[in-house]
Structure 1
């Protein structure tokens, strides 16, 4: 049983690493603005599905790794991810009962909060105007949530990750 726990945790980490790979995949031209935050979506799923395994420490760690991979100010994604995952952990019992459409609305606000924090940090660092495409990952992430939920749920149930 102990080895089963490690295998399940390894699969969670592997899904987060794959999400990081999707995060840094270069997309052609204007499509770059549409790339959702796959890492945050994956962290949200695992924090709702198995909150005793994925928490703020994982959000902070993968946030720092995302900062390094994207070349952003160290700690900005870590802060945004940690805050969103804290909210998810506080509300996970309620959110698990919601249908996927209502969860999608919650995901929209989580992604919006994350982008808002990134905007505030970027505005402090380099004051100026921001292009409207900065907010597009919020919408594409919300649209991708049912896909992320379905794929990760299938993995969790078929591999008995608990």
Structure 2
């Protein structure tokens, strides 16, 4: 679990040219969602909040901006987990996209509440990229889920 979270944080701060920045998926949010679905006893709201604080420090954003989004994301994932896990992957993808959009809306709310300039329309591309990556990511992390469940 720690390895996947570290990799997601790394992929989030990995230097890129300016043009693909809007297409970068919300790696940390996707990994937190996965672990909240797979092992809610190990990944919870408080850990989501701590990871969000780490992401705030790494990205240089307002302290608490990502922490709020990730803690609400973790809460939604844990509360909706029994309903989401029974669905096939394509229906899970739809529900995950709603959670990704909720996280983006919270972040947008914090941006607006603090008087920062509003992001461009391309701000909404990131959840769509995450939506397309969720089935692949869930499939790739499935062996790790089994390992964590065996511990």
Is the pair's TM-score, using the shorter chain for normalization, greater than 0.5? yes
- Shift of the 129–86 alpha-carbon distance from structure 1 to 2, 3 Å rule, reads closer
Contact kept, 8 Å, 1:26 with 1:32, in 2: the verdict is no
- Distance in 2, matches of 1:134 and 1:140, equals 11
Q: Which moved more, 1:80-89 or 1:118-127?
A: 118-127
Task: Say how many residue pairs are matched.
Answer: 149
- Shift of the 20–128 alpha-carbon distance from structure 1 to 2, 3 Å rule, reads closer
Alignment counterpart, residue 137 of structure 2, candidates 117, 131, 148: 148
Instruction: Say if 2:10 is the partner of 1:24.
Output: no
Pairwise CA RMSD: 1.2
Instruction: Say if 2:22 is the partner of 1:33.
Output: yes
Unaligned runs of 5+ in 1: 1-11
1:61 maps to 50
- Distance in 1, matches of 2:143 and 2:15, equals 27
- Distance in 1, matches of 2:112 and 2:11, equals 26
Runs of 4 or more, structure 1, over 2 Å off, are 126-130, 154-157
Give 1:57 deviation, angstroms: 1.3
Q: Which moved more, 1:129-138 or 1:67-76?
A: 129-138
- Distance in 2, matches of 1:125 and 1:141, equals 26
Give 1:112 deviation, angstroms: 0.5
Contact kept, 8 Å, 2:37 with 2:81, in 1: the verdict is yes
Unaligned runs of 5+ in 2: none
1:83 maps to 72
Larger radius of gyration: 1
Structure-to-structure mapping, 1:126-145, within 5 angstroms: 126=115, 128-145=117-134
1:93 maps to 82
Contact kept, 8 Å, 1:107 with 1:142, in 2: the verdict is yes
Give 1:146 deviation, angstroms: 1.0
